[in-house]
Structures are given as C-alpha cells and as structure tokens.
Amino acid sequence: MASINIGDNAQQVIKYWSARTTQQLREKLLLGGLVSKEYQGEIKAQGDSVKIYSVNAPSATVTTVGTANSNVFTGAALSTSYVDLQINKIATAAYEFSSENEMLSLLSSNNPEVIQSLVYAVEKAINSHIYSVMIPSVAAPDHTINLVTNFDNSQLLACRLLAATAKWDKSKPWYGLLDPSYYNDQLAVQTNVSSDFVSDQPVVGGVMATKRYGFTLFEDDSLATDTAYIFHPDAVNFVMAQDLKVQVSDLHPTGKHGVMLSVSAMYGAALGIDGAKKCIKVTAA
C-alpha cells in the first residue's frame, strides 16, 4: 500500500479551504467589520505594534482689522494623540482526525460543515474579544445605561444625545448592535414604518440594517438578552495581521495516531483614542 504524504495532503487542504475560510470570516465577523481598521505601520510578525494617530486642533486667534494687533497671532506646536495597537492575539480552532484518510474523505466530499465550524469558532472568539475591549466611559456623562427593559425610540434618542454631546465625528457612520430582544423592540415601534425611518437598508455580513435617528442598527444574536452597543467605528481599533491560516499536523509527536486540522487568525484589538467616550452600552441589568 502506498504511503500518504502529510505534506502533500496539507497543501491540498490549504489550497481548497484557505480562500473559502477567509471569505466566510469576513462575511460573518459583524463587529470586526464595523470598527476602525485604520493604522500606520508595517505588520511583520506576532507582537508587532502599529500606531493610530489623531492630530489635535490648535487654538485660533481672532483679531480686528485696523487695530494695532490685527496682524498678530499665536502659533502652537503640532500636537498629536495616538494609541499603540499590538498584534498579540491568536484565535485558533482545531479538529483531530483518526487518520488522514478520514480528513481527506471529508475534503473530497466537499463537506462544508467541518470548515464552517472551525471558522465559526474563530469568529466567535474574536467577536467576544472585541466586545471585551469596548468598555464605555463611566465618567460624567456615564455611557453605560442600565435598567432598560424596552429599547424603544426614547432610549435610542437618549443614546443619540450622549453621542452628540460627546461630539462623535459624523463623517463616519454611527452603529448599533442589538440583541434580538432589543432589536424586536425597535421593530415593534409603529411610527418606524414611516419612510422617514426606512429609506435604505445596508447589508453587513449578510445582516440587513435598520436606520434610526442617524444610527445604523444591526441585530446581533451573539449578545446576551437585553444588551445593546451603540458606537462610533473609532471606538475600537482592530487589525488582522494576515489571512486565516490553515494547517495540517501529524499527531505522532503527541503520542497519537491521526492528524490535526486547524484554522487560526492573528490579530490585535484595542480601545481607540477617546474610545471610551465613543461607545455606549445599554442593558436591562
């Protein structure tokens, strides 16, 4: 019987699955697709850092023409703010197969469940981590709104007022991710059937958005019941250092027969500049 070369088989798996897994992750990673991915620097390896900059506006001088000091003004040194975003996270999901033949039989049958499950596991881990990074400010005004059992228009307007008071930049869209319960509360508001509210409905990750009061709202069933995050894209900076990596390894070094198939993603996520003021969390707790 001819031997099976794990290196050749690994190349078959990578060739067949790599492009598919990258596409599926980008389509389904809802929060990662909405937060900021702007950065300066070059990513070469795990642990590298990139910087996200913001230029602080100087104070302008106003004078009156014809007065003694009309041509006098004051300059200021260029001032910038920045945060370091370190690429220090790896999300990995893996399956063990009793033999290479078992793995290859699934590959040859075009079975989508194996790779979809691995991608979902990686996606879920990254999604949860980005949410853990997005921590709203608790300083006045507090950006955590509690005791909300019905996320109706009055609650959304309260979020809009907080966002406007915090001077969120309007050159980028404002987003809201709502759990199914809160999203149903919005859908149940009768006045929202007006064309003033439903002019256009963008789609992100296969999910259709609802537009309300300047926010683009999405249903996110990964959230706990009665939970919503309202945020500006710059609240969190997120960078994936590479496309999804697919690997096949022999289990013999661990004292087992068979092979392991893994999917992994290297990334970094950090609160943006003034990021705590650029997000709002609403809960019923």
The domain spans of the chain are 6-132+238-267, 135-236+274-283
From 133, 119, 114, select the one nearest 238 (Cα to Cα).
133
Task: Tell me: cis bond preceding 141? Omega within 30 of 0 counts.
Answer: yes
Mean pLDDT of the chain: 81
Distance CA 202, CA 221 (A): 18
Bridge pairing between strands 210-212 and 215-219: antiparallel
> What is the per-residue pLDDT across 234-285, written as a single tens digit (0 to 9) for each?
999 888 877 788 888 888 888 888 899 899 988 889 898 889 999 999 999 8
pLDDT for 230 = 97
> What is the per-residue pLDDT across 141-176, written as a single tens digit (0 to 9) for each?
899 999 999 999 999 999 999 999 999 999 999 999
Q: What is the pTM for the complete model shown?
A: 0.77
pLDDT for 43 = 64
Please answer whether residues 231 and 281 qualify as being in contact, where contact means their C-beta atoms are separated by less than 8 angstroms. no
Distance CA 173, CA 159 (A): 14
Cα→Cα distances 256→8, 64, 100, 103, 106, Å: 20, 84, 13, 15, 20
Tokens encoding 274 = 């003034």
Provide the greatest CA pair distance for the chain: 99
Q: Which CATH number fits domain 6-132+238-267: 1.10.20, 3.40.720, 3.30.450, 3.30.2400?
A: 3.30.2400
**Domain 135-236+274-283, what fold?**
hypothetical protein PF0899 fold (3.30.2320)
The helix/strand/coil state of 137 is: coil
